[in-house]
Amino acid sequence: MSLLLALSLVAPTMLAQSPSSPRDETVRVRIETDSPEVSLFRITSEGYGSVATAGGAGTVGIIHYQRECRMPCDVTLRDPTTDFFIAGSGITPSRRFTLLDHGRDVSLQVDPGSSGLRFTGWVSTLMGVSLAILGGTMMLIDSSSAEDSSLPEDKLFRKVGVGSLIGGGALMVIGIPLIAFNGTDVKFAPNKLTGNQGMDL
């Protein structure tokens, strides 16, 4: 009888001392930014789907997410092990990050990029590459024609080719910086309360 009583007392004690899962932890998150449109999102699930295309079947990624807070953001969240990202109206989505191992009190410094300017950068760059390829092709055609003395000399291809190369290069010079400098930067800011030294993502 005494042995059964001892076991009944030990079992709850062992369960109470078992370590909790990181998913059960809570983290307080504060966001520091100049943009009122900044929001913190959590990835809730991911998957893949098949779609029919003209060339056959294709695979697309499917991401489900939910908004956790919008500026001004000061919220306590459960399960810091999942992936988060910063986005918002007119804001380029940031890279994913996790709140795990950054303490129980986290401050995020967010420098948002413009999604509109970044889209303009992609369009400008793609158009520039296309024009450059067109210009290079026309220059090759002009060179081939110049080597054949039986064909009359026509400078049209050369002029159009040079113009396309110059125009394409100019568009790429405009587009590439728009892509590079309009990403959203997120930094774990130093926190005096928890001793967190901060980290760039």
Residue spans of the domains in the chain: they are 21-113+184-200, 117-180
Which pTM value belongs to this model?
0.68
192 — pLDDT class (breaks 50, 70, 90): low
Q: Which residues pair with 85 in a beta bridge?
A: 41
pLDDT digits (tens, 9 = 90+) for 40-92: 999 998 887 777 777 677 778 888 999 999 999 999 998 888 999 999 999 99
pLDDT digits (tens, 9 = 90+) for 95-104: 999 988 888 8
- pLDDT above 50: residue 9: no
pLDDT digits (tens, 9 = 90+) for 112-164: 999 999 999 999 999 999 999 988 888 887 777 666 555 555 677 778 888 88
Residue whose C-alpha is closest to residue 34's, from 184, 149, 150, 198:
184
Rounded Cα gap, residues 196 and 194, in angstroms: 5
pLDDT of residue 35: 92
Virtual torsion, Cα 12, 16, 20, 25, nearest 10 deg: 130
Rounded Cα gap, residues 163 and 185, in angstroms: 37
Rounded Cα gap, residues 180 and 175, in angstroms: 9
